[in-house]
Amino acid sequence: MKKILITIITIIFMINGITYPKVLADDIDEEYEEIGEEDLKETVETASNSSELQINSRNVAVFDRTSKQVIYGKNENKKTAMASTTKIMTSIIVLENANLKDEVEISASAAGIGGSRLGLKKGDKISVLNLLYGLMLRSGNDAAYALAEYIGGSKEGFAELMNKKAEELNLKNTHFVTPHGLDDPEHYTTATELAMLTDYALENKTFAEIVNTKTCTIYINGNPRTINNTNELLGNLYGVNGVKTGFTNNAGRCLVTSVNRDNWNIITVVLGADTKKIRTTDSINLIEYTYKNYSRVNIEEMLNKEFNNWKNINQKMISINKCKNNNLELELEFNGTKIRAIKNTQIDNIEFEINVLSRLEAPVEKGRVIGNIIIKNGDEVLDIAEVKNKYEIEKKGVEDYLKIFLNELVNGDIIKENWPSI
């Protein structure tokens, strides 16, 4: 029925000499995809039992929220279009700069925006909070434009706020031009930085609640309307609690997914999938593969154990020349990543290379770095910890040497055969 209707509309346009408008951004009907239970079960089972990842999308990343690091990637640092995943940043700018109860009147510009829409008309009145739900669930470009005008005064003014925030978050390979994600050569990000942005956004409780909503009722001009989330994995795959779909001709099919299983949070980013099926399959593959083939390892605990074992044997062997009191006590300072997601097959490859000076010259000040421990996973350096002197060690003075001499004299340690007989 839908295809027949589109054909009729196209014919009417052609008869009247009008070119049928080309959709350049998310189309809501094209964007949403119900997952069949059997298809989902089969995809999850295949992914869980696979020892290798088969990924067809052009740019992907798996981001561990505990360590704040990408643990798997494919072209993860390559600049690319991001489509409606842009709206993650749009939401954050709104949440940090607006009163959610404020009422917004929709302009002609916002009402006329193309692509996926909430269906707003010029003069409609709707709260900021309801616009956010329309933005993130329905992927409304009209909602995005209305929020941009309300917060930034214009699309350009809002883009300035977006780019300022990107700079604050150290997203060096991300740049925004629009609030909705329509294709533009100057509008881009990377899979890694989109994951970093999403990680930041999820710290906002309102954002996390919105993107974890499958269905809700919003109000436009006081009238209720029920909308559904375009995220095909939400409510269908164990642990998924957001975040955002996307599609443009240039960006391809995109999906950013947040997952929490057994208090282990990850974010997967899939950009540049050729079809919805590939986008969905790649996302599921990344999620299932990660939870089966990676484990969280307490690096700090392993480090402390290695250091204490080494210290018990080697600390007393360190000599300190000219010291007043040899009260050497080594301590460890580690400011690196305490818990890491490590591939199960690589956990046994974690090594601790301990390098500490074997000879010191007094004085040795408190807190002086006298060595380090290099933490490696095979040839990869994961982190470096510092070995420090815990207490101040003073240098001997003239009085100290005199006391030693007199003590030796009293105890007969001076060579006695050279003394005169009585």
Contact 302, 363 (CB under 8 A): no
**Could you state, in chain order, the average pLDDT of each consecutive group of 10 residues for the chain (422 residues)?**
45 36 43 64 76 91 97 98 98 98 97 94 98 97 98 97 98 98 96 98 98 98 96 95 96 98 97 95 95 96 97 95 89 96 95 96 95 96 97 79 64 51 40
Q: Tokens 């002086």 — which residue?
A: 368
Give the span between the Cα atoms of 197 and 88, in whole angstroms. 8
**Minimal CA–CA distance to 183: which of 24, 353, 15?**
24
CA dihedral 287, 289, 291, 293 (to 10 degrees): -160
pLDDT at 40: 76
Give the span between the Cα atoms of 342 and 175, in whole angstroms. 31
Amino acid at 259: V
DSSP state of 206: H
pTM of the model: 0.85
Q: pLDDT tens digit string along 188-224?
A: 999 999 999 999 999 999 999 999 999 999 999 999 9
Domains with residue ranges and CATH for the chain: 57-274 (3.40.710.10), 297-398 (2.60.410.10)
| Catalytic machinery residues | 84, 87, 139
Give the span between the Cα atoms of 262 and 119, in whole angstroms. 39
Tell me whether the omega of the peptide bond preceding residue 21 falls within 30 degrees of 0, making it cis: no
pLDDT at 243: 98
